[in-house]
Amino acid sequence: MVGRLIHLMRDAKGHGCDLVVFPELALTTFFPRWFFERQEDIDFFFERDMPGPETQPLFDEAVRLEIGFQIGYAEAVVEDGRERRFNTSILVDKSGLIVSKYRKIHLPGHAAHEPERPFQHLEKRYFEVGNLSWPVVHAFGGLMGMCICNDRRWPETYRVMGLQGVEMVMLGYNTPVHNPPAPEHDRLGWFHNHLVMQSGAYQNGTWVVGVAKAGNEEGCELIGGSAIIAPTGEIVAQCVTSGDELIVARCDLDLCKPYKETIFNFAIHREPEQYRMIVER
Ligand code: ING
């Protein structure tokens, strides 16, 4: 997997990129689709060190190429004196330094084994809800934020970063074509995928880079549709295959200004006193 990511990283550098965004759980299969009884079988998928022995070559290549990257992975850590497990993403700058970390907050699916499903979605069983909020950091010449997969469907995700002035939201996703609880939604998977990212971008005057782990993984078809979306809400680049495909765009972060300073000037136009129900319910 690391070899495939390095190949894509070299391709991106060849196109003059400063930053590459990789998918959610990019180092492993989307293992929440399976029910595991034994903790040691679950722990097989988690990284204890980042970089660790398997991922160090990715960090080394990024430094050699002078390119930054964002990557999603399953994080195991001892924190507050106990084992914690998160669905995590990190932002790594051109010097190979981890400059930001995010832990997925909106965990979809279910916690108990549901054998009648064609496949499981056990993120609530294998991960804790993230405890880092949605940080926005100065990096790559702008204000950079991250979220992960299901987070992109919730407007609160973008607004928490929007209130911090975010200029680019990077996210990876593993979205099955088929959603067992609501098969009637399947035909709309691609539409909903872009709908939520385009609205998040426009309503917060930010770029959004959404990157799919796409194609058939362990017999489960995952949607593609990776896209680079401008603060206008327009898709400026989009994948058209479900293979290892690179899309590239020149993302001028100053394109955020015309939205942040006018129609979505939060200081002038928002009415937070009227929104209490959003956090009190
Ligand atoms: N996956 C899916 C997502 O939010 C899902 C869950 C699947 C939602 C199908 C709706 C339809 O894109 C993850 N990993 O959050």
Domains of the chain, earliest start first:
2-279 (3.60.110.10)
**Would you state the pLDDT for residue 278?**
97
Tell me how many degrees the CA angle 126-44-245 measures, rounded to the nearest 5: 85
Helix (H) / strand (E) containing 173: strand 168-173
pLDDT score at 248: 98
SS3 of residue 18 by DSSP: coil
The pLDDT of residue 274: 98
Strand order in the sheet with 98-103: 19-21, 68-79, 82-92, 98-103
| Residue with CA nearest ligand 1 atom 7 | 175
Quick one: which atom of ligand 1 is closest to the CA of 109?
6
Looking from the CA of residue 153, the nearest atom of ligand 1 is 4
pLDDT score at 261:
98
Long-range Cβ contacts of 237-242 (<8 Å, 24+ apart): 239/212, 239/214, 241/214, 242/212, 242/214, 242/215, 242/216
ipTM for this prediction: 0.94
- Residue 145: the pLDDT is 99
- Which atom of ligand 1 has the smallest separation from the CA of 174? 14
Average pLDDT along the chain: 98
Q: Average pLDDT, stretch 153-161?
A: 98
pLDDT of the residue at 111: 97
> For a pocket test of ligand 1, which of 25, 150, 152, 157 has the largest count of ligand atoms closer than 8 A to its C-beta?
150
Give the pLDDT of residue 201.
99
What pLDDT shows up at residue 182?
A: 95
Active-site residue numbers?
24, 104, 149
Q: Across residues 199-217, what is the average pLDDT? A: 98
> CA distances (Å), 160 to each of 157, 190, 204, 268, in order?
6, 25, 10, 17
**Residue 53 alpha carbon to ligand 1 centre in Å:** 30
Ligand 1 geometric centre to CA of 267 (Å): 33
- pLDDT score, position 217: 98
Q: Mind listing the pLDDT tens digit for each residue in 92-134?
A: 999 999 999 999 999 999 999 999 999 999 999 999 999 999 9
Those residues with Cβ within 8 angstroms of residue 71's Cβ, 6 or more apart along the chain or in another chain: 5, 22, 26, 27, 58, 89, 90, 92, 172
Identify which of 97, 53, 55, 94 has the alpha carbon closest to the alpha carbon of residue 72: 55
Residue 62: predicted pLDDT: 98
The closest residue, in CA terms, to atom 15 on ligand 1 is 150
CB within 6 Å of ligand 1 — which residues?
A: 108, 149-150, 153, 173-176, 179
pLDDT at 226: 98
Q: Which pLDDT does position 118 carry in this prediction? A: 95
Show the beta-strand stretches assigned E in 6-55: 19-21
Q: What is the pTM of this model?
A: 0.98
Structure tokens at 240: 């058209």
pLDDT grade for 267, boundaries at 50, 70 and 90: very high
CA gyration radius, the chain: 18
- Please, which pLDDT band fits residue 160 given cuts at 50, 70 and 90? very high
| CA 87 to ligand 1: nearest atom | 14
Coil, strand or helix: which one is 118?
coil
pLDDT of the residue at 158: 99
Q: What residues contact 87, with CB distance under 8 A and at least 6 apart? A: 24, 25, 72, 74, 75, 103, 104, 107, 123, 127, 130, 148, 149
The average pLDDT across 169-183 equals 97
Alpha carbon distances (Å) from 229 to 237, 238, 273: 7, 9, 31
Ligand 1 pocket mutation, candidates 175, 191, 222, criterion most atoms within 8 A of CB = 175
How far is ligand 1, taken at its centre, from the CA of residue 108, in Å? Answer: 7
Sign of the torsion angle spanned by Cα atoms 243, 66, 98, 247: negative
Question: How many angstroms separate the alpha carbon of residue 141 from the centre of ligand 1?
Answer: 31
Ligand 1 center to residue 150 CA distance, Å?
5
Residue 86 pLDDT class (50, 70, 90 cuts)? very high
